[in-house]
Amino acid sequence: MAQRVNVNFSDDTYAVLKEIAEKKGNTMSEVLRDAIALEEWVTDELTSGSRLLVERQDGEVREVIRR
């Protein structure tokens, strides 16, 4: 069963959410569901001792530090 949630965003955050949805051709709800799934995966990985790395197109690798 789907649950409905009412969330208040700042104007800037709402604009970013809308922009991402338009770029991906998705609804804002789909973008939020994807973001939550990604957050869950990242949290699970980091709490199990993994490191999160980003490799740029030029080959540079950086570790993502989260607080």
Q: What is the pLDDT of residue 29?
A: 96
CB 63 within 8 A of CB 51: yes
Q: What is the pLDDT of residue 5?
A: 93
Q: Is the pLDDT of residue 18 over 80?
A: yes
The tens digit of pLDDT for each residue in 26-59 reads 999 999 999 999 999 999 999 999 999 999 999 9
Q: What is the pLDDT of residue 55?
A: 97
CB 54 within 8 A of CB 64: yes
CB 49 within 8 A of CB 37: no
Q: What is the pLDDT of residue 16?
A: 98
